[in-house]
Amino acid sequence: MQTHYDWIIIGSGFGGSVSALRLVEKGYKVLVIEKGKRFGPGDFPANNWDLKRWMWMPGLGLQGIFQMSFMDHVTVLHGVGVGGGSLVYANTLPTPKEDFFEARSWAHLSDDWQAELRPHYATARRMLGAAENPRETEGDRVLESIARDIGRHEHFHRTEVAVYFGKPGVRVPDPYFGGEGPERVGCTFCGACMTGCRVGAKNTLDKNYLWLAERRGLTLISETEVTAVRPQAAGYVVEAVRSLPPKKRGIRFTADKVIFAGGVMGTMPLLLAMKADKKGLPKLSDRLGEAVRTNSESLIGVIAPDHEEALSKGVAITSILHTDPHSHVEPVRYGNGSGFFRTMVLPAAPGDSLSQRFVAMTKSLMAEPKKWAKAFAVEDFARQSQVLLYMRTLEGTLRMKLGRSPFTGFRKGLMTVLDDPSQAPKAFMPEATELAQRFADKVGGVTATLLTETLLGTPSTAHILGGATMGRHAYEGVIDKDHQVFGYDGLYVIDGSAVSANPGVNPSLTITALAERAMSKIPSA
């Protein structure tokens, strides 16, 4: 393998994959470095009890696509592997509303972000194979009933998702790229999108952007983690090690230019470490790690032990109800048999303190002891449960830094800080709690949250964003409006870290569109 490239991209998620294809198309020699493994449909687990193939904890021999990072003020759910978060995300591709494009945090950097990004959103939808979910599920019928109850029926609609529907289970030649892409198989609506699509219907990045890039000359190495990026006389040195045991001697590459695209949970610790390293990137903006956002979301499970119709059928997210101009809720599901989260939930118990949450949990258990006993003992947890994902565009931020805390095992690692507690993400939001209870009442269920929320009051997010946001100069942001890092020519951040406002919706389409725009600014080789 050659060791010098025109561009090195760290990470193969939505930002990295887009960048890889567009740069190769422009005639550059490009290397993508991904710490996770490469997966084919047959490599994914049948359900999330197969921790070795689902969870990413390589030190314990778990080499899957899903990672949970427990932090001081938020629990982050994120993806690992060739294709990044696309392997584990819920396929949903909404475009944010005007609030996002007009947010004070970045609106001044463009005459009109919405107009400027519109063609790039269109390209992203085409590349990701966006299509409207064609099938109504039990969860949709319940949510639509709630929409009628609260007078918002006209604001209920089906999702646009990155899935090939076709004929269920039928394999066809590439339907997207004139035969240049891989064969696809029609979705079977099994609900297993987030444990990895074993059917071959989910339009993950290894089936579009990366597939096309590799056939145009992209070099991609997996199971390799970047540990340092250092400037040299011309360009940069990129140091890496094998991410899976046994770890071998480090690998060294050089590049004229480098893109950080490892998502917040990959890019932030690397950039923060390099800023602290005098031989690394000490001139990085002091704004690094600030303005981290969580989409202001809430994840509340509904367990319905006696409900007859399966809640697990359909794609991962099938519909959306906009409850007001700033908020919406979506029903989320896992496929039959994926009941791992039953080991990590407790009754939903809103409260500002542990004592308040303990009282609320006790009341919930005592009010319906038989139903809770059935809920905890239900045979197929996924079949009898639905997650209500509530999101809003209203802002709430925190800061990331390297430090020691109980959640890093008191080793130096990525941790969160609250500079302004009033701006902190919240574990419990009254409207989210009310919507989940309405859903539970209609299916004869009970509501539950991750034990970190019930016990610690720590919110959870699958959409961590920010930390290397845009600005006019280094005093205002880490990168400029074209994603180039202030103080370092040829360094870019193109992933969720660069998202500079709260989209209030599933952000994958937005990250893809931003990456398309960033690459449109790069001249051909």
How much is the pLDDT for 328?
94
Question: Same domain, yes or no, for 92 and 32?
Answer: yes
Quick check: 525 pLDDT over 80? yes
Question: Same domain, yes or no, for 358 and 263?
Answer: no
Which residues, including other chains, have CB under 8 Å from residue 330's CB and lie 6 or more apart? Answer: 92, 159, 317, 319, 320, 321, 388, 389, 391
How much is the pLDDT for 255?
97
How much is the pLDDT for 294?
86
Question: Same domain, yes or no, for 411 and 279?
Answer: no
pTM: 0.96
Output the domain CATH number for residue 277: 3.50.50.60
Distance CA 362, CA 6 (A): 60
Question: Same domain, yes or no, for 224 and 318?
Answer: no
How much is the pLDDT for 16?
98
Question: Same domain, yes or no, for 287 and 343?
Answer: no
Question: Same domain, yes or no, for 304 and 354?
Answer: yes
pLDDT class of 454 with cuts at 50, 70, 90: very high
Query: pLDDT by residue (tens digit) across 9-40?
Result: 999 999 999 999 999 999 999 999 999 999 99
Domain for residue 58, yes or no?
no
Question: Same domain, yes or no, for 383 and 432?
Answer: yes
Question: Same domain, yes or no, for 327 and 447?
Answer: yes
How much is the pLDDT for 156?
97
For residues 279 and 406, the model is more confident at: 279
How much is the pLDDT for 67?
95
How much is the pLDDT for 184?
96
Quick check: 136 pLDDT over 80? yes
Question: Same domain, yes or no, for 32 and 92?
Answer: yes
Distance CA 202, CA 221 (A): 23
Query: Could you list the residue range(s) of the whole structural domain that residue 483 is in?
Result: 1-38+81-109+214-294+464-525
Where is the domain boundary, 462, 486, 502? 462
- Average pLDDT (286-312) is 93
Question: Same domain, yes or no, for 104 and 252?
Answer: yes
Quick check: 161 pLDDT over 90? yes
DSSP-assigned beta bridge partners for residue 62: 57
Question: Same domain, yes or no, for 257 and 331?
Answer: no
How much is the pLDDT for 269?
96
DSSP-derived letter for residue 96 is P
Distance CA 129, CA 203 (A): 7
Domain for residue 97, yes or no?
yes
Quick check: 419 pLDDT over 90? no
Distance CA 22, CA 19 (A): 5
How much is the pLDDT for 423?
72
The H-or-E segment that residue 67 falls in is: strand 66-70
- Minimum mean pLDDT range among 362-376, 384-398, 443-457, 503-517: 384-398
Handedness of CA 44, 48, 50, 55 (dihedral sign): positive
pLDDT class of 183 with cuts at 50, 70, 90: very high
Query: pLDDT by residue (tens digit) across 315-357?
Result: 999 999 999 988 999 999 999 999 999 999 999 999 989 999 9
Which residues, including other chains, have CB under 8 Å from residue 462's CB and lie 6 or more apart? Answer: 76, 77, 78, 89, 90, 297, 299, 389
Quick check: 154 pLDDT over 80? yes
How much is the pLDDT for 1?
61
Domain for residue 254, yes or no?
yes
DSSP-derived letter for residue 287 is T
- Average pLDDT (263-283) is 96
Q: How far apart are the first and last CA of the chain?
A: 21
Mean pLDDT score of the chain, rounded to an integer?
Answer: 94
- Average pLDDT (494-510) is 95
Quick check: 409 pLDDT over 90? no
Domain for residue 479, yes or no?
yes
- Residues 422/404, Cβ–Cβ less than 8 Å: no
Distance CA 283, CA 487 (A): 6
Domain for residue 51, yes or no?
no
Domain for residue 243, yes or no?
yes
Give yes or no: 463 in active site: yes
Domain for residue 402, yes or no?
no
Domain for residue 72, yes or no?
no
Distance CA 86, CA 417 (A): 28
- Average pLDDT (455-459) is 90
Question: Same domain, yes or no, for 436 and 359?
Answer: yes
Q: In the structure encoding, which two tokens stand for residue 277, read together? A: 């390293």
Quick check: 65 pLDDT over 90? yes
- Residues 54/65, Cβ–Cβ less than 8 Å: yes
Please state the domain count of the chain.
2
Q: What are the percentages of helix, strand and coil residues in the chain, rounded to 5?
A: 30, 25, 45
Q: How far is residue 435 from each of residues 69, 201, 321, measured CA to CA in Å?
A: 27, 31, 11
- Residues 163/129, Cβ–Cβ less than 8 Å: yes
Choice among 326, 463, 473, 483 that is catalytic: 463
Q: Number of helices (H) and strands (E), helices first, in the chain?
A: 12, 26
